[in-house]
Structure 1
């Protein structure tokens, strides 16, 4: 899936890439999970997550549960607050001050030296900064994308195909809805 204007700012991009290790490719429309292969192949892991190593705490099942919970949270489900809070507790988050670009900022960090701890801390910082609400998943292809629109109302990963491997999920959804409305009115669909 192309990333045309879907990348998230800063470290939140690592979270987006992690969520997208599960995908629903346009050509096959069958679920694909790249995480087991990445967990088995350290060189593959380093290619996708070059600055984040795994630890013994990063078992495949735990990584898959975190990814599924983050995907649910990106969809804005009501139960996601409770689930995220459980991850925050398990990763032993704490607040520190850090000097960044001429100012002191509060940063949430994890005491857990693991990829999971890192991801959970990035999510907590994104929630604190307001960026988390803009990380969304497409209701059609379920690709995680960052909403760069001014008002944060983007719903689909894209309205145009964006290349040979792209999918115009928004256009497809709107055409489908239009045809359904026309069929209800007795029009031609």
Structure 2
């Protein structure tokens, strides 16, 4: 695969920090000499995201409609949403060339269905009893960009596992993200 030029949100985790975060800690550190727990390699990987403006109505009685910005992964729509206070500007994006990127695979209509479900779930979590007749209108913002992640590879040759670090939110990701990246690596 040839390197592709992309725009990515600037990471909040450097490679050095990623190595430190992904190193085994506590009891795992004591077991690190076992091949299973040994950090072999760290790599930056980029996931395509689509930005949407969500107009939310019927959220609490006669309250005015809310407008919020959400970014959804364009691969499967399974990763956690990102919410933005405003459309990311050029100063928040980094242009780079990389081979480590996933390809978009999510159809627009399916993506909007998944996004509406996730946004509704967020609304319910923030105050279920205030929601009357929720209505969500989604509008795609013409800004596609990538989100940076750090992958940590563990184990012996032929039996590698990975852990995923969100390089923007500085948090470890769970099984959905791990499965997405392991599928990409196996392809």
**TM-score using structure 1 length:** 0.23
Q: Which structure has the higher relative contact order (CA within 8 Å, separation 6+)?
A: 2
Which structure shows the bigger proportion of residues in helix conformation? 1
Which structure shows the bigger proportion of residues in strand conformation? 2
**TM-score using structure 2 length:** 0.23
